[in-house]
Amino acid sequence: MGFKCGIVGLPNVGKSTLFNALTQSAAAQAANYPFCTIEPNVGDVPVPDPRLEALAAIAKSAQIVPTRLTFVDIAGLVRGASKGEGLGNQFLAHIREVDAIAYVLRCFEDSDVVHVEGRVDPIADAETIETELMLADLESLERRVPILEKKIRGQDKEAKQTLALLERALVLLRDGKPARLAAVSEDEQAAFKSLGLLTSKPVLYVCNVDEASAAAGNLHSARVEALAQAEGAGCIVISAKIEAELAELPPEERKTYLAELGLKEPGLNRLIREGYKLLGLITYFTAGPKEARAWTVTQGTRAPQAAGVIHTDFEKGFIRAETIAYDDYVALSGEAGARDAGKLRLEGKDYVVKDGDVLHFRFAN
């Protein structure tokens, strides 16, 4: 598994251009007018990880299989979307299905590209998006209160717990604050997630800057970075135009182009890393003659559950995990070298998987 990231923004901020570049497809129409994206476009992309190629070379793997990230490009929101303005609730529903939301914010000046509200102000744009999502959540929750109260009168204990969580979110939303700020214990996380609140999802601010600002950002992106820091949200600076140009170049020419612009890597790599960090995700590997493969799990996942990502039978019949740290695997030229050096460990059911672990699971049929 990777993760599913919804891309939202006001019209004409470069959202669909960025989506097209990231997925190297023309699935979304990138046009200089609102609502050109009528249906949410979905793009599945491999997660770039240079460690995977190194493992494949050592294990002499016939195939390399990266983990994958799904981008969902959702049509441009406008003020009043929660009340059906533009294409409104049709798109808000698609946001409920993603793990995190990337707010694409216009941080560039261009008189040829019309802003839907006639100005360039990424903070105001972020507030417009957040407000519409909060209003949609508020409406959704207020509709559910009388239904839950009726169930509680019928002695429904689960409804009582749900209503308590719902009211906690309502206090925030009525105060103009997103539901993700609610104090929710670990035991309540699953129930809180089941409320399906748009503003409970982690947010990644994507500052779409002009080409000259791609390396260091600009005054607009600096304001967004300050906002993200204050909120504990993720933030990256990216030029959708550069990403679009990169997508059209052969792989061997991309490095040269990036170097000319003073960039070390494509924006996609940074977007994925920031997304993983935001969601607390890590990568472990399996490597052998058949394939070298990357797998994504949540930080804190124990070995049996990590095995279950490969196949449910692996989790049910889990015996142990033969574990080698990535650095040891590379330094000692693979499994045999790591075993000889005492760096191959046998870990049991309580082992918490670490980022970069190279694992081989033993399980009973």
pLDDT tens string 150-162: 988 888 888 888 9
Average model confidence (pLDDT) across the chain: 86
Task: Give pLDDT, residue 319.
Answer: 96
pLDDT surpasses 90 at 97 = no
In angstroms, the CA 28 to CA 19 distance is: 7
When pLDDT is cut at 50, 70 and 90, the band that residue 87 belongs to is very low
When pLDDT is cut at 50, 70 and 90, the band that residue 115 belongs to is low
pLDDT tens column, 42-67: 888 888 888 999 999 999 999 999 88
Place of tokens 């929750």: 141
Q: Which amino acid is at 294?
A: A
pLDDT surpasses 70 at 281 = yes
- Euclidean distance between the first and the last CA atom of the chain, given in angstroms as a whole number: 24
Task: Give pLDDT, residue 34.
Answer: 39
Place of tokens 């216009």: 106
In angstroms, the CA 125 to CA 74 distance is: 16
When pLDDT is cut at 50, 70 and 90, the band that residue 342 belongs to is very high
Task: Give pLDDT, residue 102.
Answer: 92
Name the more confident of 209 and 47: 209
CA-based nearest residue to 74, from 7, 150, 28, 10 = 7
